[in-house]
A and B are shown apart, each in its own frame.
Chain A
Amino acid sequence: MSSNEKGFDRREFLKGTAAVAGATAVGTLAPFGLAHAQAGKIKVGLMLPYTGTFAALGVAITNGFKLAVEERGGKLGGREIEYIVVDDESNPAKAPENANKLIQRDKVDVVVGTVHSGVAMGMAKVIRESGTLWINPNAGADEVTGPLCAPNIFRTSFSNWQTTYALGKVLKERGHKNAVFITWKYAAGDQAMAAFKEGFEKEGGKLVKELFLPFPQVEFQALLTEIASIKPDAVATFFAGGGAAKFLKDYQAAGLKGKIPLYGSGFLTDGVLEAVGDAAEGVETTLHYADSLNTKKDNAFRLAYAKTYKLQPDVYAVQGYDAGQLLAAGLDAVKGNVGDKAGLIKAMEAAKIDSPRGPFTLSKAHNPVQDMYLRKVVGKQNLVQGVAWKALADPARGCKA
């Protein structure tokens, strides 16, 4: 902690001299100059998965973040950004150590990460102790902006609670009186399930059965048979990635599709539509982003992203992009003076982020207060059907900050 602050001071002092040098082209052209790095750059630590199951998500988030920085001329608050990258492998066992690497070894000014909830829990431990600024661009563990909330902890994605809470209302509107929820037996699944139950029962619906599958198993047949025997009005679910793709296909193959409508948090149908053919057609989900928002901001973002990376952006890219925007909002306000942590945090708290998903603000616990869209799979796209819940705020249970 103390060494960190010393770092700030020194950088502050050197910044003055760097501003002079930086004005000349020489300064900006000098590649990786050590002296230069110390003089003016803000160190951003990217702790994300670059290997393993979630590698694609880590890359999308990185791309999004860098795009936000590039759009500002590679500078935030007038200072250049230096990236320090750590592959967290989505391995929670290594999480505290990897976070330490960025905080203690590299002395980064801000940590951006990660995807896996368990890893985020490990990071939270270290970050709460060190007081380093942390922007979480994905991991949805409710705790992060719940019991673990802290002034230096921000999230630009979602809480697991948010992704399924609004579903209850949707099911009610469709006239479904009872439902079954199916997910993996792990923390994110538990939280998504609990939020769905809360939302659905508040609307008078009844969750007749909770079905769990050991994580990350993908043999769904037994539970699909169970669903067929229960014959609920609707099925709600939380799956992602390869498991989501397989679930959608199995659901169709078992003949349930078209007989019992399927709903889910948006991760069910994000990034897998190419893989599942028509198995997802018509499935409705709730998420804070969709493919056809067709707003000025979103169109500009998608165009820029596609141009820069020759890839179509996804919700993860948006979350990374907004992490960059949130940091920019803070740093602009303090003119790049990361030493002014109170000012920085205050500015970030107050920021209104003009996100591709639509503008959002942050709750007191620093989680996005955002519109949850109702989306429907049509062809290879998650098309917006409307807003399932306007400005949905996570209840931040247990947050005392």
Chain B
Amino acid sequence: MTPARTRLFALLACALLLALFPLFGGTFYVQLIAKVMILAIFAMSLDLLIGYTGLVSFGHAAYFGLAGYALALLGPKYEAASLWWSLPAAMAVCALFALVTGLLVLRTKGIFFIMVTLAFAQMLYFVFHDTKLGGGSDGIYIYNKPELKIGDFALANLDKIEHFYYFVLILMLAVYLLLRRVLGSTFGRALVGIKVNEHRMQALGFPVFRYKLASYVLAGALGGLSGYLAAVQFGFVNPEILSWHKSGQVMMMVILGGMGTLYGPVLGAFAFVLLQETFSNQAWFGSLAKHWQLAMGGFVVLVALYLPRGLAGLIERKAQPAVEEEEKPKEKP
């Protein structure tokens, strides 16, 4: 099989597995996997920045939270908002925020970029934490899940967890395919070029700043998509969803899965949540489960030291070298 076929086959197999899951998984686990898929979208959007454009953002939670608050504040309080306008609106708010902050943060590099993205996320955190705008530190409810209707016909009832699950699954696949498409285009290849050597791309005549900005805005909008879905799932937003810990966690997912590959962050999201559930499982670890953060922290340290290319790196070492080569154009001179 050619590498592209292998990937297509693996993708279809995973999609099928996920599609069948609600048939045998209990409600809680369907909820859980839906949550993980939302995080997978979130992680993919960050990977576009970290893994492909070389922009290490430490404030990506800002978009996750902002979209949730957008839904909570823009929608009617006691009726359901229509998904047709509320989702694009939430994503547009995030894109706008990314555009405005991007014009500023993209002027900085390296450590400074990391810190400025953090600063903007923190600012947003305090806006929602300290003002009454979104219920302050107690957060705010979204009483009704958005409606997905054409005319009077309901395409799906997001109150039903199975419907919601499939809705998220479709969106996750769509985001994956969209990003694959984007990255395969001239624009995408230019981004990778910028990651490797920005000056050279500049010299070659690429509008480097504009490309970076476009990537930053797209990542923000897709991060917003995941935040919107998360807000819909639990109907509750709180300032903590845009805290720097959240930004750290999604970064962890990206690296754990393998940055610079699109399926890596998806794997990473699954692995991250699975590990957390495992370490804190009282049935398995008894009183030690209380100290799950110790195990989690130790694990993060090990990944940083020994698994720089993440799970995807492990997989591809085993797969044909051809796959690896196609997956890593960045290492070509």
Contacts and interface: CB of A to CB of B under 8 A. Distances in A.
Contact of A117 (B138, B239, B246): B138
B238 interface: yes
Interface residues of B, number: 32
A85 B240 contact: no
A95 B141 CA distance: 13
Interface in B287-328: 289-293
A85 to B, nearest CB: 5
A125 B240 contact: no
Interface in B260-296: 280, 282, 289-293
A93 interface: yes
Per DSSP, chain B at the interface is helix
Interface stretch (B26-34, B104-112, B187-195): B26-34
A100 B129 contact: no
A101 B282 CA distance: 12
Per DSSP, chain A at the interface is helix
B28 A105 contact: yes
Contacts of A3: 27
A159 B27 CA distance: 33
A214 B130 CA distance: 7
B234 interface: yes
Contacts of B239: 92, 118
Nearest to A55: B290
A208 interface: no
Interface in A39-53: 50-51
Interface of B: 26-29, 31-32, 35, 126, 129-130, 135-139, 141, 234-236, 238-241, 243, 246, 280, 282, 289-293
Interface of A: 3, 50-51, 84-87, 91-93, 95-97, 100-101, 104-105, 117-118, 121-122, 125-126, 141, 143, 185-188, 190, 214-215
CB-based closest 10 A-B pairs = A96-B234, A104-B28, A105-B28, A186-B137, A92-B238, A187-B138, A93-B240, A93-B241, A187-B137, A187-B136
25 contacts: A3-B27, A85-B282, A87-B289, A91-B240, A92-B138, A92-B139, A92-B236, A92-B238, A92-B239, A96-B234, A97-B31, A101-B28, A104-B27, A104-B31, A118-B137, A118-B139, A121-B138, A121-B141, A125-B235, A141-B138, A185-B129, A185-B130, A186-B136, A187-B135, A190-B136
